[in-house]
Amino acid sequence: MSQDTPLYRKIISHFLREIAERRLSAGDRLPTELEISERFGVSRITVIRAMRELEHQKLLYRVKGKGTFVREDVGKLGDLAMQSETGALIGSEPGERERAEKTDIPLISVVMSDSEQSGRDILLGIEHAARKHGYYVSFHNATMDPRVERSLLEKLAADARGIIVYPCAGLDNIDLFSGMTIRGFPYVVIDHPLEGIEAPLFAPDNEGGSYAMTRHLIELGHVRIAFVAPGLYVHPSLRQRYNGYCRALIEAGIPVRPEWIESADWPSGSEPEALRQGAASTLKRWLAGSCRPTALLAGNDILAIHLMKAAQLAGISVPGELSVAGFDNLPMTEYLEVPLTTVGQPFYEMGERAADALIRLIRDGEPVAGERLDTKLVIRASTSVPSVR
């Protein structure tokens, strides 16, 4: 077996040989996960993954509180000696060999929550890293629907060696993600943390980027700064941006005003007409107040663009009467009639580093750490000193 063989596969091959050569017989109890971990010098998660794979192939079974045992009907499952040499788990059912050969393709899958503009650069980074390691990539769009996400993840976990997921917001599929973690299936997460699950996360410094942008607006002279991010209480990344906004205001001695925070339940990107209406309604409410904001920070660039358009239709000049800032630095923002001041995200690097880490996890079976990537301010024409202080 080559040095590049993943550690969990070496454990699988060892126990296949033990069974094939009758050193382990039907009904025998295997060593504990801790004992296997110490014997092979690997982490417990690597052992769990190997054991789950052997259970999935109906070679082992677990008894809660007692341990893992060799199945009584193991002798019916084919030539284990040959399987141990190839490292493949191939049963005797029709078509099972073809399925096993299919899974030997070095494939990782990517599940995005939506086909966002940022997705292109993320995928380019993933593809570059995968090609460097000799892997192929399949891309799938969950369309912001947790049900679609669940279906994709369940199917892909059977074919791909690992998954990179940009998860939908919320806790709908927390059982699925926690189950993947328990059985040691290799996956990493982009941008949105899975709250309550310690999965490797590759995300921008959302709080730091929002903090820096709010500081920029304050330094221009703004003290009445609004924040708008629909889905604020659902999307962890947007809450991080909100935290950065609050921190910058408080450090500057400016109270956070609830009437300047908008977290309406309108969509954040997939329905342009709903966004347009929501932006127009929010701006109208702010402008009708006795102490209206002179600047606003949007949770993403698409929202900022809609707010700028709503201001234009209301006869409010940007940045003369209202400064507007976004978050993402999408390519289009440079070419708007009023180019948008925004926070740049390292989309390409995020995808590249996530793929590198996933492939290391697949290859070595050892835990990998996530990474928080730096953002940067991109100052353009949509922000300026306030006309009234």
- pLDDT tens figures, 150-204: 999 999 987 888 999 999 988 899 999 999 998 889 999 999 899 899 999 999 9
What's the confidence (pLDDT) of residue 163?
Answer: 97
* Residue 246 pLDDT level (bands cut at 50, 70, 90): very high
Are the beta carbons of 25 and 70 closer than 8 angstroms?
yes
Banded model confidence at residue 275, pLDDT cuts 50, 70, 90: confident
In this predicted model, what pLDDT tens digit does every residue of 66-108 receive, in sequence order?
899 998 876 655 444 444 444 444 443 434 444 444 446 789 9
Chain position carrying tokens 């942008």? 213
Q: Smallest Cα–Cα separation from 187: which of 161, 222, 155, 158? A: 161
Edge-to-edge order in the sheet of strand 162-165:
136-141, 107-112, 162-165, 187-190, 201-204, 371-373
Is the whole-model pTM more than 0.75? Answer: yes
Q: Which domains does the chain have, with CATH numbers?
A: 7-95 (1.10.10.10), 103-203+347-373 (3.40.50.2300), 206-345 (3.40.50.2300)
Task: For 183-217, give the DSSP string.
Answer: TT--EEEESS--TT----EEEE-HHHHHHHHHHHH
Q: What is residue 176's predicted lDDT score, i.e. its pLDDT?
A: 94
